[in-house]
Amino acid sequence: MRGKLVIGNWKMNGSLEANRCLLQELLPPLAALKGVGVAVCPPFPYLAQVAGLLEGSGVALGAQNLNAAEKGAFTGEVAGGMLAELGCRYVLVGHSERRSLYGESDEAVAEKFEAALAAGLVPVLCVGETLAQRRDGSTEAVIAAQVRAVLQRVGSAAIAVAVVAYEPVWAIGTGETATPEQAQAVHRHIRALLGEADGVLAAATPILYGGSVKADNAAALFAQPDIDGGLIGGASLEAASFLAICQAAR
Ligand code: PGA
């Protein structure tokens, strides 16, 4: 059975003080929340601090990106092994901001996905269409290309441990959310694509929805049969709203 999972993506936000305050408010009520996996992904410089704050809490640590190489002359980059050493369980790969602002292709994302697996991390593969792609009817094809690039590179090993996050680009940080029905249709499509590699594993792969998830729309999204939780940006920076979203996943 797939459990529910909620991951907070802090993006390039936070400070030593803000992180401490946020987790101080979040962790006690989260400790009382059973049956929902929770993780937070702070910026790289705060991973060690947040790892310390999360110790013993049951909340997992994740990173927002990694380099596909194991080590070497890649100034400014971070390897999967480093993230694992700092206590990360998850790492986002192919977030739409990485794809659009930093030119990460489907193939580059697949390489990062493979590197994450090699480092013992759980890759959270982010996929999603732009507004133009949705309008011209290519949503399913875009998602298929993004998912298949990974399956082609790593095969069914891809889905044995991975998480997928469907994040329509037009819904990220815009306040506009996919309706539960729109999201469910794409989630079903993603599960079918994974099923082409391995039906049994696909049935067990968590597929999260992301894109302007808030306390007041989370429950309806999470109630859909193929939506296994959320990847939360803006609303993960505020304790009350992130907590309410985690509670909606119960
Ligand atoms: P948002 O971001 O919740 O602020 O829309 C989601 C994401 O980009 O992961």
Q: What is the pTM of this model?
A: 0.97
C-alpha to C-alpha distance for 66 and 83, rounded to whole angstroms: 8
231 lines ligand 1 (CB under 6 A): yes
> Based on C-alpha coordinates, what's the Rg of the chain?
17
CB neighbours of residue 145 within 10 Å: 13
- pLDDT for 157-182, tens place per residue? 888 899 999 999 999 988 888 999 99
> Ligand 1, atom 3: nearest CA belongs to which residue?
233
| Ligand 1 pocket test, candidate residues 91, 124, 172, 214, most atoms within 8 A of CB | 172
pLDDT given at position 149: 97
Q: Euclidean distance between the first and final Cα of the chain, in Å?
A: 14
pLDDT of 69 > 90? The answer is yes
137: left (phi over 0), alpha (psi -120 to 50) or beta: left
Q: How many residues does the chain have?
A: 250
* Domains present along the chain, CATH in parentheses: 4-249 (3.20.20.70)
Are 138 and 99 a contacting pair, CB within 8 Å? no
> Vertex 197, ends 183 and 4: CA angle to 5°?
40
Alpha carbon nearest to ligand 1 atom 2, residue:
233
**3-class DSSP assignment, residue 6:** strand
Contact 94 CB / ligand 1 (< 6 Å): no
Cβ-based burial of 76 (10 A; exposed 0-12, middle 13-18, buried ≥19): exposed
Q: What is the pLDDT of residues 181-237, one digit of tens each?
A: 999 999 999 999 999 999 999 999 999 999 999 999 999 999 999 999 999 999 999
Predicted confidence (pLDDT) per residue in 79-138, tens digit:
999 999 999 999 999 999 999 999 999 999 999 999 999 999 999 999 999 999 999 999
Query: DSSP assignment, residue 170?
Result: G
**Statement: residue 67 has pLDDT above 90:** yes
